[in-house]
Amino acid sequence: MADPIKIAIVGLGKIAHDQHLPSIRANCAFNLVATVSSRNESINKLPHFETLGELLAADVAIDAVALCTPPQVRYTLAAQAIAAGKHVFLEKPPGATLAEVALLDRNAEAAGVTLFASWHSRYAGGVAQARHWLSERNVKRASIVWREDVRVWHPGQDWIWEPGGLGVFDPGINALSIATHILPPFFLTSARLSLPANRAAPIAADLQFETGDGTPVHMDLDWRQTGPQSWDIIVETDGGTLTLAKGGAVLTTPEGTQAGEDREYAGLYAHFAELVRDGVRDVDTAPLQLVADAFLRGHRETVDEFHD
Ligand code: NAP
């Protein structure tokens, strides 16, 4: 068996603690050897650094980094890591702009290292089966409803409301990562973005897309949802209706309902290990492209101020 990939985590926030640390510990293809945190937080007495630069300059051998910071600072960190010859796992979204991600991909290719733009929702329990089921049917229309309470899921995350933080598209891009994986290619035709008067990013969005043959795909994103939360994709086909609920975890077709095991980050790390072993990259920017198009083409309206 090959030696474990020596990996460091950069940015010890919510997702690093909730998912990256346990997933790395559970995967014998990886060995967590260091962490980087501006608060100099340490994990299990491992070597820890305040900046990635300090880690790269230190006498700690690493093969890879997982960048778990907000997207606005991801490019600089990834460029630094690639220049030092390290494989890079990018949290979603892979960057704050499409051009910076394209440049990282070129740099990674030139440096001969793996760059992985991860989309965790594609590994939700029902998604692979939904993709297979839809590949054998014709889609007539699709609807995406992603409504959640920002106060519950993103308390105090100021970066999410700043330019590049994506606002409601931070969860919305998860839906798009599934939709671009299971539906025929589609593009934005119109959008309405609702921005709180005191924020730089939308709190809600209503988007209309269509496929190349004119099949409509509608998306309803809202962060003001209280009570039951919705993370649903409904696809009408010539063979009946498919529903992916709970963020892709629960699949219902005319044949019945199945709930897959939660292996989103286990799946991501298994794939990252394969990419590193095979010496290849996986950088799909389709979900980010659709979000960028919404900002390019969407009508903006100002709505009530939002306070945490
Ligand atoms: P978070 O709780 O705010 O943590 C982000 C961490 O990044 C911070 O704790 C900080 O770590 C570091 N950081 C570096 N520069 C920063 C800056 N300028 N502003 C704020 N933090 C900075 O965010 P998160 O929820 O973990 O999200 C991080 C990324 O993961 C985002 O791209 C998000 O879309 C993605 N993600 C989040 C979730 C989720 O459920 N929260 C799920 C999937 C994906 P130190 O204090 O250690 O330096």
pLDDT tens digits, one per residue of 111-169: 999 999 999 999 999 999 999 999 999 999 999 999 999 999 999 999 999 999 999 99
Instruction: For ligand 1, atom 39, name the residue with the nearest CA.
Output: 15
Ligand 1 atom nearest residue 16's Cα: 26
DSSP 122: G
Cα(14)–Cα(95) distance, rounded to whole angstroms? 18
Nearest 5°: CA angle at 167, between 166 and 169?
65
pTM of the model: 0.98
pLDDT score for 153: 96
Closest by CA position to 201, among listed 232, 230, 158: 158
Mutate which of 9, 10, 14 for ligand 1 pocket (most atoms within 8 A of beta carbon): 14
Query: Domains of the chain, with CATH numbers?
Result: 5-117 (3.40.50.720), 125-260+292-303 (3.30.360.10)
Q: Is the CB of 124 under 6 A from ligand 1?
A: no
Residue 240 Cα to ligand 1 middle (Å): 40
Cβ–Cβ < 8 Å for 153, 267: no
Is 73 close to ligand 1, i.e. is its CB under 6 Å away? yes
The gap from C-alpha 295 to its chain's centroid, in whole angstroms, comes to: 18
37 vs 10: CA distance, rounded Å: 6
Residue 2's pLDDT is 84
Low pLDDT (below 70) residues in the chain = none
- pLDDT at residue 260 in the model: 81
* Cα 275 to middle of ligand 1, angstroms: 24
Residues 78, 57: Cα–Cα separation, whole Å = 15
The residues annotated with a catalytic role in the active site are 92
Distance from Cα 216 to the centre of ligand 1, integer Å: 34
Q: Is the CB of 267 under 6 A from ligand 1?
A: no
Q: What residue's CA is closest to ligand 1, atom 12?
A: 11
User: By alpha-carbon position, which residue is closest to atom 7 of ligand 1?
Assistant: 69
| Ligand 1 center to 91 CA (angstroms) | 9
Q: Is 246 helix (H, G, I), strand (E, B) or coil?
A: helix
Q: How far apart are CA 288 and CA 276, in angstroms?
A: 23
DSSP state of 161: G
* Beta bridge partners of residue 117, listed in sequence order: 90
